[in-house]
Amino acid sequence: MATNATTWFYREPEKGRPYLISERVNHTFWQNRINDVYFTCVHAEPPFRLVGEWDGKAVELEYEPTRVFILRMQEESVPFVRGVAEILGFPPTVSYTDADGRFITEWYAKDAQKRLSEVQGNPSFQNLKRYKR
């Protein structure tokens, strides 16, 4: 199955079909040289949510097509974040560590400035990093 982000982020994937969503996302990551990851779709309606493991660490993806993509990991991985940015075709908006100690990276195709303001004003987010487009 040849696929890329246009089949699941830039266009809404098949609602209610978790297997197809998982397959599209997995193949996109594998095609972009992130081979040792496997995602399972656990919510097949917007916001779509997939969970997986990469390099022995839990990884979670949550996204609303054409709007926002959120990556949650146990710890920061610059290569993984770069890979996701390559897949989506634009750099992240912000990254931070949440109250549970997870590393969060968010990509906003719309309303990025609004989200930056929300994150900057929240004291439970640490190690805030803004990215430039």
For residues 61 and 123, give the distance between their C-alpha atoms in angstroms, rounded to a whole number. 23
Closest CA to 47 of 73, 82, 72: 72
Q: Are 96 and 126 in contact (CB under 8 A)?
A: yes
pTM of the model: 0.92
> Would you write out the chain's pLDDT as a tens digit for each of its 133 residues?
567 898 899 998 888 899 999 999 999 999 999 989 999 999 999 999 999 999 899 999 999 999 999 999 999 999 999 999 999 999 999 999 998 999 999 999 887 777 777 777 777 888 888 887 6
Residue 40: which domain range? 5-130
Closest CA to 99 of 119, 78, 72, 123: 123
Total of domains in the chain: 1
Q: If you count them, how many residues does the chain have?
A: 133
> Looking at residue 111, what is its pLDDT?
78
> Looking at residue 25, what is its pLDDT?
96
